A and B are shown apart, each in its own frame.
Chain A
Amino acid sequence: MSLLELKNIYKIYGDLHALDDVNLKVEKGEWLSIMGPSGSGKSTMMNIIGCMDKPTKGEVLLDGVDIAKESAKNLTTIRRDKIGLIFQQFHLVNYLTAIENVMLAQYYHSVPDEKEALEALDRVGLADRAKHLPSQLSGGEQQRVCVARALINYPEIILADEPTGNLDDANEKIVVDLFHKLHSEGTTLIVVTHDPEVAEVAQRTVYLRNGKLHKETINEHFTGEIKFDK
């Protein structure tokens, strides 16, 4: 059984089909990239996979449970327990320090544990910046705090929306390397991106166009390491 399976997913806003009969399977431990131009339905798909939205039609099976039929309250619980979210805009709470931002995810999941939060920051190379506020961190560092926050509760899937969209090349490499490390540890990664170089490091890439799954490519030379040709 796949970890995630989308069956005949539609998301319709009036006359607009943001997702139009999308079928997709993601296996446990897989690294998948979702690519497509603006308005192709990438974010809609991410919202549905991330339990932040429901499809108009179709089934979304996460660990065999159809999350499309769950209540908003249950979706929050599923999201809290199974999904780690990484955003393009980082979305850190600006009055909390780096470690407190990580602990925030723990707080809503179970019990905040400072030691564990510090270990998570250490995994992203920011243990020494734990007491810094987001405004005192660079973009790359903020995104790494966001990664630490996403992985603190040991989610089954890490869902990243344009994780390198606001980063320079150096920070982009750091973040992709982090993904590679997480993947090698068995974490399932779904990365929505515009950037072909970020997409191509994944094991598999699906391309969306006008809400439909346009094509799918397998990276036969998968190493998980980014190569810069820019």
Chain B
Amino acid sequence: MFFRMIFGTLFRQWKKMLMIAFTIALGASLATAMLSVMLDVGDKVNQELKTYGANITVVPKENSVVNSLYEVEDGGTAVAYLREDELGKIKTIFWAFNIVDYAPFINTKVSIGGTEADAVGTWFNHHLELPTGEQLDAGVTSMRSWWEVTDGKWLDEQTADNANYAMIGTALAQKLGVKAGDTVHISGSASDADITIAGVFDAGGDEDEKIFMPLDTAQSLGDLDGKIDSIEVSAITTPDNELAVKAAKDPKSLTISQYETWYCTAYASSICYQIQEVITDAVASPVRQVADSEGAILEKTELLMLLITILSLIGAALGICNLVTASVMERSAEIGLMKAIGAQNAAVSGLVLTEIISTAVVGGVVGFFAGWGFAQIIGHTVFGSSIEMRAVVIPLVAVLVLIVTLAGCIPAIRMMLRLSPCEVLHGK
């Protein structure tokens, strides 16, 4: 009898129920889309921000102290070096999979045709085969994505004679009067080399006055074999919170459980800490500007998504409220009759709630899949990639739909509870 009445109502009031299902579907779709994007946006924004360069720098401990003491950020005289043979260890830390790219740098003074210049040895698209079996092309080709190659092309480190090529900044190229394809004679403190300019780049900064060459080439010019000045690391990080800030100051101040939480979360500070554990006498520190921007953008984006979700659900609740109240008013004589022949408030409320929740389930399922579609549209439009559907979204949307449906039913249920059978049956 109960289900006969449910089906009777759903069938008889199908237009109203369709409107309720549509309202719920709309709310559920927006909630699904926003929650999916919100939960995936961290990775997406991080990936996006990777194009702005490294977010962690690693320098020798000694240089770090000197630089801090004299407030020198770059270009200070190196008094100590990092070891090239330890570079692979960066991809062995706990958060190895979050290290998306990195590049070592060695600076040396050279003379190019009698003109003094800064040469930088680095990786361009250096191929790495890690002990874990992972293969990676790392270097400035991807980490300096904003460099505009104005002449020639990017240096391809994986070709056989890469050691004889370099990329030169526009300012230095102009000063020397060279262009891509030209060969220049470079004299270092230890040796000389004839280098062909693979490309001229415009970095829009100090790097335009430097010449970038493969690490080995620069090392041999300056007699710096196996030595590097610094490492730039691009890592996917979690925005800092109080724990991360506290740990960044002094990891020893954390309790054991706090330490474990911090260590096992991809905060920039915990990744830095882990890099320091594998690189001898190194200080790894987050590039605050980038790390802070990531955190701020991420927080604002997530807040925006959350607000849209909340507003859409409030809108859905109001819509449901109007439709269910209208439905109850339309059925007041029927509800009054049920009460008159012995239905308690709980039975009548249960009947109406079952009808609405049945409708909500249909609307919720439709809305969920529509929301998944919206999320993909947002993903491809904004981030140029699909949004990964997290399993947690399903129960979250189900609970939200239930809460919104029940909240939307409250005024109608209150009205129903107050409904006196004699008022509706006798029109009093």
Task: Please tell me which one of the listed residues A91, A95, A109 contacts residue B337 in the complex, with CB atoms under 8 A apart.
Answer: A91
Q: A95-B11, A96-B8 are in contact. Are A104 and B1 (CB under 8 A)?
A: yes
| Interface flag for B428 (CB, 8 Å) | yes
Contacts of B175 in A (CB 8 A): none
Q: A43-B426, A91-B425, A96-B8 are in contact. Are A52 and B340 (CB under 8 A)?
A: yes
Contacts of A149 in B (CB 8 A): 341
Contact B1 A43, beta carbon cutoff 8 Å: no
Contacts of A181 in B (CB 8 A): none
Contact A80 B8, beta carbon cutoff 8 Å: no
| Interface flag for B326 (CB, 8 Å) | no
Instruction: Quote the shortest CB–CB distance from A157 to chain B (angstroms).
Output: 14
Contact B428 A43, beta carbon cutoff 8 Å: yes
- Interface residue tally on B, bucketed by range: 20 to 34
| Interface flag for B70 (CB, 8 Å) | no
Instruction: Quote the shortest CB–CB distance from B286 to chain A (angstroms).
Output: 65
Contacts of A91 in B (CB 8 A): 333, 336-337, 340, 425
- Bound-complex Cα distance A52 to B426 (A): 11
Contact A107 B1, beta carbon cutoff 8 Å: yes
Number of A-B contacts defined by CB within 8 Å: 72
| Interface flag for A161 (CB, 8 Å) | yes
In chain B, positions 357-412 with a C-beta closer than 8 Å to chain A are none
Contact B4 A96, beta carbon cutoff 8 Å: yes
Contact A104 B422, beta carbon cutoff 8 Å: no
- Bound-complex Cα distance A108 to B4 (A): 14
- Bound-complex Cα distance A47 to B340 (A): 10
Instruction: Quote the shortest CB–CB distance from A119 to chain B (angstroms).
Output: 17
| Interface flag for B114 (CB, 8 Å) | no
Contacts of B347 in A (CB 8 A): 108
Q: A43-B426, A53-B422, A161-B426 are in contact. Are A93 and B1 (CB under 8 A)?
A: no
Interface size on A, residues (CB 8 A): 30
| Interface flag for B334 (CB, 8 Å) | yes
- Bound-complex Cα distance A77 to B342 (A): 6
Contacts of B341 in A (CB 8 A): 79-80, 85, 104-105, 108-109, 149
Among B2, B11, B340, the most chain A Cβ lie within 10 Å of the Cβ of B340
Contact A73 B344, beta carbon cutoff 8 Å: yes
Leading 4 A-B pairs by shortest Cβ distance: A80-B342, A95-B8, A52-B422, A108-B342
Interface residue ranges, A against B (CB under 8 Å)? 43, 47, 50, 52-53, 73, 76-77, 79-81, 85, 87, 89, 91, 93-96, 100, 103-105, 107-109, 112, 149, 153, 161
Besides A80-B342, A105-B341, 20 other CB < 8 A contacts? A43-B428, A52-B340, A52-B421, A52-B425, A76-B339, A77-B344, A79-B340, A80-B341, A85-B340, A89-B425, A91-B337, A93-B8, A93-B334, A95-B11, A100-B4, A103-B1, A108-B341, A109-B341, A112-B1, A149-B341
Interface residue ranges, B against A (CB under 8 Å)? 1-2, 4-5, 8-9, 11-12, 333-334, 336-345, 347, 420-422, 425-426, 428
